[in-house]
Amino acid sequence: MSQLLEPKAGTRCLLMGNEAIARGALEAGVSVAAGYPGTPSSEIIENLARVAGERNLYVEWSVNEKVAMEVAAAASYAGLRSMCVMKQNGVNVGSDFLLHLGLCGTRGGMIIVPCDDPGALSSINEGEARQFARLLEIPLLEPGDFQEAKDMTKWAFELSEEIRNLVMVRSVTRLSHASGMVVLGELPAPRAEAKFVHSGFILDPMTGAVLSVPIGFKHQQQQEKLEKAVALFENSPFNRYLGPEKPELLVITSSACFLYSLEAVNVLGLEDRVGILKLGTTWPLPPKLLAKHLSSANKILIVEEVIPFLEENVKVLAAELASSVGPKTFFGKRDKTIPSVGEMNPDNVVSALAKIFAIDYQPAPEEYRKRGQTVAFFGAPARDLTFCPGCPHRASFWSIHNVLEMDGREGFVCGDIGCYTMAVTPTGFSTVKTVHAMGSGTGLASGFGKLTQFGMDQPVLSVCGDSTFFHAAMPALVNAVHHRSRITMVVLDNGGTAMTGFQPHPGLEVDAAGRQAPAVSVEEVARAIGAHVEVSDPFDLAATQEKLLTLLNRKDGVNVLVLRQICALSPQKKWKKLFEVSVNQDVCLGESCGCNRLCTRIFRCPGLVWDGQKKKARIDEVICSGCGVCASVCPSGAIQKKEAA
């Protein structure tokens, strides 16, 4: 049994932040959860999906975040508690809907959980969701530890029902993906009956039609809800102060930065001089609470990640309260006391405090640091970003790269979001030249493909994964077809949302909870849109290259090439080898003219190893996944494959 179903209140469990959030939702009696996979958010939906049966939940991986929000909102309108979950970028995707949702209000408690990725550990930007709370005029909660992740999630539903509007609970990578002790609360008996009441007076938020008009009226109502939330925030147990009554410096912080601040104060032994105001309710800020603490110190340091969101909001309040709290000296991101980009850590806070207090602090002796660098440089093998052994993307980009080079017209690939984004690097032969948001590859290609009238004759390709195809690439494909843009869209269909952990998507015959589901076919959709569609197995390099060359030479219309081969790490394929692969070192040409280490210098599957002593290639049987593609790459036939038993 999942510990998420532990019935006994008071039980202490080691939970990952995302599990704590899921447990909090279960303790709140959530009925519907929807999301789109994205690191570091994915485990919330995955954990809820696992207990969907026992808890009578409806959980789905939606086609994209906007639809996820709509699915969750429908449940709220029908009186259920619901949540939608995504990584930071997902909030952008759904923000159009959210702006309306904020005005319309909610019925059953509804929360949105964005998991931000400061430092972009698993992202290609470090955009953050907090500012959406201000933009959308909804309350924002930021858990500072694992217990709070659970407790605040649960309370967020109550708050949502109290004010009848959406509440944002924002997590970050270090909270979502780390684990800590959590004391569980009550698990309510599954209940809830859904009914969408719509026959009441049109302006009645609980029985009328759900509308954002009349705007003035609804907007007014929305801001009153926010004021109600602020009143509750003034006494919220999620806002805490630790430190002396009159600190020399007040640290105001939230989220994972709270623990970093605690640690930094402790490292420098500043407990008697520094106070920490840890805020859990960060938008709108509770003014009375802030006034009390701002009065206590003249120097204020704001510790937070990515943009100076908290800093600016505190400063606005400080300006409004200036006559009562007096002038303050602020430290934070705007004066560069805190780094303005990247993830925070205790060292950063230590540096900031040391600077403010003029303490000479060395995190480690210089000698130690230098030695560490030397050992790391000479002792650790260089590890580039790389596709896994047997990854179909390596084979796909090998073919795409070779075909573009053979074509010789300086063709290029507009990339998209997935493991295959790595094709900007040598692991994908540096084939991808643009990377933006989900679906943007094909949108950009659609634009590039229309530049022939200005003399551009470079072949334009886009790539997207199967999940990305449904998420956001379809409208771009429609656009390209309708406007006769000359592009070739390559769908790298590896049978799941692979990068985030192989979650299902509408192209598969299974849903988030493991139920049978009708699959939507990529090629049928593309054909219906009006594209010329071909399908190939990327492991068959010759056939794939021939098809691609033919497509690039087609004079008119949009081409779609589906390269279908399941991810090497998929549950279906993992540990199952298609081939036993070996290198006949007598035949291997090694560094000599005729090969010059093509397999280990260019193709670079991690399953191939250069034997520096023998000057020959060999297979690393431990990690070789047996795809057999390198046998097709070897010019001398030294790499041999035979079907695995």
Partner 1 sequence: MKVHGPSELLNDVQKGGLCIGCGGCVDLCPYFRNYMGKTAMLFPCTLTQGRCYAHCPKAEVDLQELARRYWGEDYTGSPLGCHREILGARAGKKFQMWRFQGGGTVSALVASALKSGRIEAAVLTDRSGFEPVPKVVTQWEDVGRCGTSKFIAAPTLAALNKAVREGKGRLGVVGTPCQMTSVAQMRLNPLGREDFSDPVALAVGLFCNWALDHRTLKAYLEKRLDVNGILAMDIPPPPANVLVLETASGKVEISLDEIRPLIPQTCFICPDMTSEWADVSVGMYEGRPGWNTLIVRTDRGADLVEQARSDGFLETEPMPEGYVKSLSAAALQKKQRALRTAAMREVLNVNEDGKRSALRVPPEVVNAILAAQ
Name the residues that contact partner 1, by CB under 8 A.
401-402, 405-408, 429, 549, 591, 593-596, 598, 601-602, 633, 635-636
Residues in the chain: 645
Sign of CA pseudo-dihedral 322, 326, 329, 332:
negative
33 closest CA partner among 55, 13, 14, 3: 55
Q: Are 632 and 638 in contact (CB under 8 A)?
A: no
**Whole-number minimum distance, CB 596 to partner 1, in Å?**
5
Nearest residue (CB) to partner 1, 510 versus 602 = 602
145 closest CA partner among 172, 118, 112: 172
Nearest residue (CB) to partner 1, 407 versus 523 = 407
Residue with tokens 């001089």: 273
**Whole-number minimum distance, CB 527 to partner 1, in Å?**
26
**Whole-number minimum distance, CB 406 to partner 1, in Å?**
4
**Whole-number minimum distance, CB 519 to partner 1, in Å?**
36
Given the DSSP bridges, would you call strands 110-116 and 171-172 parallel, antiparallel or unpaired? parallel
Nearest residue (CB) to partner 1, 347 versus 546 = 546
548 closest CA partner among 398, 416, 347: 398
**Whole-number minimum distance, CB 549 to partner 1, in Å?**
7
Nearest residue (CB) to partner 1, 22 versus 403 = 403
**Whole-number minimum distance, CB 281 to partner 1, in Å?**
56
**Whole-number minimum distance, CB 420 to partner 1, in Å?**
19
Nearest residue (CB) to partner 1, 453 versus 516 = 453
**Whole-number minimum distance, CB 453 to partner 1, in Å?**
18
Nearest residue (CB) to partner 1, 96 versus 457 = 457
Other C-beta atoms lying within 10 Å of the C-beta of residue 602: 13
Sign of CA pseudo-dihedral 54, 60, 66, 72:
negative
Nearest residue (CB) to partner 1, 405 versus 524 = 405
Give the C-alpha separation, 298 to 355, whole Å: 16
**Whole-number minimum distance, CB 555 to partner 1, in Å?**
9
**Whole-number minimum distance, CB 638 to partner 1, in Å?**
12
Nearest residue (CB) to partner 1, 531 versus 605 = 605
Other C-beta atoms lying within 10 Å of the C-beta of residue 198: 11
- Bridge partners (DSSP) of residue 564 are 493
**Whole-number minimum distance, CB 405 to partner 1, in Å?**
5
Beta-strand runs (E) in 70-178 = 82-87, 110-116, 140-141, 167-169, 171-172
Q: Are 558 and 480 in contact (CB under 8 A)?
A: yes
363 closest CA partner among 342, 349, 343, 377: 349
Nearest residue (CB) to partner 1, 521 versus 596 = 596
DSSP string for residues in 594-640:
TTSSIIIIII--TTEEEETTTTEEEE-TTT-----HHHHH-SSS-EE
**Whole-number minimum distance, CB 399 to partner 1, in Å?**
11
**Whole-number minimum distance, CB 593 to partner 1, in Å?**
5
**Whole-number minimum distance, CB 393 to partner 1, in Å?**
17
Amino acid at 284: P
Nearest residue (CB) to partner 1, 82 versus 399 = 399
What phi and psi values does residue 607 have, to the nearest 5 degrees? Answer: -75, -5
Give the C-alpha separation, 51 to 291, whole Å: 44
Given the DSSP bridges, would you call strands 299-303 and 249-254 parallel, antiparallel or unpaired? parallel
Other C-beta atoms lying within 10 Å of the C-beta of residue 424: 18
Nearest residue (CB) to partner 1, 194 versus 595 = 595
Nearest residue (CB) to partner 1, 287 versus 426 = 426
Q: Is the peptide bond before 284 cis (omega within 30 degrees of 0)?
A: yes
Q: Are 560 and 547 in contact (CB under 8 A)?
A: no
Give the C-alpha separation, 592 to 381, whole Å: 25
Q: Are 241 and 275 in contact (CB under 8 A)?
A: yes
Nearest residue (CB) to partner 1, 8 versus 555 = 555
Ramachandran quadrant class, 517 (left: phi over 0; alpha: psi -120 to 50; beta: rest): beta
Find all residues with CB under 8 Å of 453, minimum gap 6, and list them.
none
Q: Which two tokens stand for residue 598?
A: 């093509």
Nearest residue (CB) to partner 1, 291 versus 595 = 595
Q: Which two tokens stand for residue 157?
A: 């539903």
